[in-house]
């Protein structure tokens, strides 16, 4: 056998292998180009081959649309190119036309057309258009995550929280780690006051996005509503310094502490809230209002009056500010009236003793009993002897500035009879109703209202000054 024959066979075999490899390589490139063809959401590359395909598609589609503006195949082609390019204006335009032209046409993928129209509308903040398109898409298919999530988001924005919950629950079931789906599900539950369910969704949201302060704030509110007050306070306190949510967090934490009679801590919360540079005017006014209430509870009337005056300038007639301002300006300027209404129990009783002892000028007065009913009133029983008469007299000092009704006077009358007092004086920093006044007409009880009380307090003040001199 000639030695040339084996060598020639090897050469032929190598040549065949080379041809096969080149053929496979060519097919592989064609496959890669097909994967990035126009109309695919993934086809974002600007390769030479893709550019040529895109130009050909647009040229052919434009030609066909010139002949027939409702050519669904051409509309689908140009819409797909706009979608791939993320040109949302054109995508919205062409998918709108495709949806109109292709309704009921079996050659058109109506689900994809409506879904993409909805997504493009969302990108353009055309929420009504997005809602209509996505609603139609969902009537065709209910198991698409993107449609369920985005339609659920739109329902949330429309405050249709119950419908939002249904859609977002389905979206979360399909993708349990989708942060935004969990977030809006949690906030929808919160808006529906389904606090237990909201806590579960919000906690999962915060596990995935710890920086989501709005969800953290909502979690605190849910905890508060479910009675986990300390947990809520911990979160509100943490958020007090946040530039955006800080004022509102301080308002919540301060209000909770004020209700818990933690006046000093409440004052600190409200003051922190007011230190923020960016604060909504309505939040600032409410913080000042609550801080004034805290100052009143803390018996710092000067500070309270200053804040109430600010509120009156910022928002005239806000809540009961005019009435509070009138009341506490007077209290702040009259030491004895301040003690009468706001002083401690011991200060109040001391003042009642002084009034009783000087109530009848030039009389000999001996106080025999003092009893205090919580912080509502004090009863003082005294033996009074004058040059013309002597008797046991009952005084009731009521710590209120509103209108006292008949029931209050009836109860006092029964007390006077039980103690066998010959005379009774019911004294209030407010007024008495007409029914109360009619009740005492034929009884040995005198009603003393605010004006008469103020004269008495001024007399006490004058005697205190003389004694001090």
The string of DSSP codes covering 238-259 is HHTT-TTTHHHHHHHHHHHHHH
Asked if residue 28 is part of any domain, the answer here is: no
pLDDT of residue 40: 29
Domain boundary at 276, 310, 336, which? Answer: 336
What string of pLDDT tens digits covers the 469 residues of the chain?
444 444 444 444 444 444 433 443 433 333 333 232 222 233 333 333 345 588 888 999 989 988 998 899 999 999 999 999 999 999 999 999 999 998 888 989 999 999 999 999 999 999 999 999 999 999 999 999 999 999 999 999 999 999 999 999 999 999 999 999 999 999 999 999 999 999 999 999 999 999 999 999 999 999 999 999 999 999 999 999 999 999 999 999 999 999 999 999 999 999 999 999 999 999 999 999 999 999 999 989 999 999 999 999 999 999 999 999 998 998 888 889 989 998 899 999 999 999 999 999 889 999 999 999 988 999 999 999 999 999 999 999 999 888 999 999 999 999 999 999 999 999 999 999 999 999 999 899 999 999 999 999 999 888 877 665 5
Per-residue pLDDT tens digits for 147-175: 999 999 999 999 999 999 999 999 999 99
Domain extent at residue 138 = 49-336
Cβ-proximal residues to 271 (8 Å cutoff; 6+ apart), any chain: 291
Provide the number of structural domains found in the chain: 2
pTM, rounded to two decimals: 0.72
Asked if residue 36 is part of any domain, the answer here is: no
pLDDT of residue 44: 34
Asked if residue 304 is part of any domain, the answer here is: yes
DSSP labels, 6-17: HHHHHHHHHHHH
Per-residue pLDDT tens digits for 54-99: 888 899 998 998 899 889 999 999 999 999 999 999 999 999 999 9
d(CA 340, CA 358): 16
pLDDT of residue 342: 87
Ordered strands of the 377-385 beta sheet: 364-373, 377-385, 390-398, 423-428, 445-448
> Are 178 and 320 found together in one domain?
yes
User: 431-432 and 403-404: which strand pairing?
Assistant: parallel
> Are 266 and 351 found together in one domain?
no
Domain boundary at 308, 336, 364, which? Answer: 336
Long-range contacts at 304-313 (CB < 8 A, ≥ 24 apart):
304/328, 304/332, 305/329, 305/332, 311/285
Token pair 């649309």: residue: 65
Angle between helices 450-468 and 345-358 in degrees, nearest 10 = 90
Residue 369 bridge partners (DSSP):
381
> Are 119 and 238 found together in one domain?
yes
- Return the ∠ at Cα 92 (arms to 88 and 94), rounded to 5°: 115
pLDDT of residue 331: 87
> Are 114 and 160 found together in one domain?
yes
Using the 8-state DSSP alphabet, how is residue 388 labeled?
Answer: S
pLDDT of residue 468: 58
pLDDT of residue 115: 97
> Are 194 and 88 found together in one domain?
yes
> Are 388 and 357 found together in one domain?
yes
pLDDT of residue 374: 86
pLDDT of residue 52: 52
> Are 408 and 460 found together in one domain?
yes
pLDDT of residue 442: 87
57 touches 94 (CB < 8 A) = no
Name which of 454, 372, 439, 442 is nearest 404 in CA terms.
439
Name which of 279, 288, 289, 292 is nearest 247 in CA terms.
279
Percent of the chain predicted with pLDDT > 90: 77
Domain boundary at 293, 310, 336, which? Answer: 336
d(CA 3, CA 403): 130
pLDDT of residue 38: 26
CATH number at residue 255: 1.25.40.10
> Are 98 and 75 found together in one domain?
yes
């Amino acid at each position: 056998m000639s030695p040339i024959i084996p060598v020639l066979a090897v050469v032929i075999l190598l040549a065949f292998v080379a041809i096969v490899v080149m053929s496979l390589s060519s097919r592989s490139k064609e496959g890669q180009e097909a994967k990035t063809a126009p109309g695919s959401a993934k086809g974002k590359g600007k390769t030479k081959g893709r550019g040529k395909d895109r130009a050909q598609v647009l040229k052919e589609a434009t030609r066909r649309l010139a002949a027939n503006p409702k050519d669904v195949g051409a509309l689908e082609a140009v819409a797909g190119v706009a979608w791939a390019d993320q040109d949302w204006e054109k995508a919205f335009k062409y998918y709108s036309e495709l949806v109109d032209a292709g309704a009921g046409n079996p050659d058109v993928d109506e689900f994809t057309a409506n879904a993409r129209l909805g997504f493009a509308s969302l990108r353009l903040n055309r929420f009504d258009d997005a809602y209509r398109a996505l609603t139609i898409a969902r009537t065709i298919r209910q198991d698409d995550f993107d449609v369920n999530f985005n339609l659920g988001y739109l329902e949330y924005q429309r405050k249709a929280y119950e419908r939002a919950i249904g859609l977002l629950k389905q979206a979360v079931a399909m993708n349990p780690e989708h942060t935004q789906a969990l977030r809006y599900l949690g906030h929808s539950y919160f808006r529906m006051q389904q606090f237990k369910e909201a806590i579960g969704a919000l906690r999962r949201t915060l596990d995935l996005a710890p920086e989501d302060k709005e969800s953290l704030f909502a979690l605190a509110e849910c905890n508060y509503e479910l009675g986990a007050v300390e947990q809520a306070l911990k979160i509100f306190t943490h958020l007090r310094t946040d530039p955006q949510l800080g004022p509102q967090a301080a308002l919540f934490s301060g209000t909770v502490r004020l209700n818990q009679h933690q006046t000093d801590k409440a004052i600190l919360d409200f003051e922190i809230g007011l230190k923020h540079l960016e604060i909504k005017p309505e939040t600032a006014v409410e913080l000042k209002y609550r801080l004034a209430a805290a100052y009143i509870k803390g018996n710092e009337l000067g500070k309270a009056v200053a804040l109430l005056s600010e509120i009156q300038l910022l928002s005239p007639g806000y809540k009961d500010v005019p009435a509070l301002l009138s009341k506490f300006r007077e209290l702040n300027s009259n030491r004895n009236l301040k003690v009468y209404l706001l002083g401690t129990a011991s200060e109040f009783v001391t003042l009642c003793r002084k009034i009783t002892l000087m109530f009848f000028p030039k009389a000999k007065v001996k106080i025999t009993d003092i009893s205090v009913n919580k912080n509502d009133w004090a009863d003082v029983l005294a033996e009074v002897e004058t040059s013309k008469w002597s008797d046991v007299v009952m005084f009731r000092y009521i710590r209120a500035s509103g209108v006292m009704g008949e029931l209050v006077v009836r109860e006092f009358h029964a007390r006077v009879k039980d103690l066998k007092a010959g005379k009774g004086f019911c004294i209030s920093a407010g007024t008495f109703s007409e029914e109360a006044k009619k009740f005492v007409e034929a009884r040995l009880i005198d009603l003393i209202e605010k004006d008469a009380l103020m004269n008495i307090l001024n007399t006490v003040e004058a005697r205190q000054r003389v004694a001090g001199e």
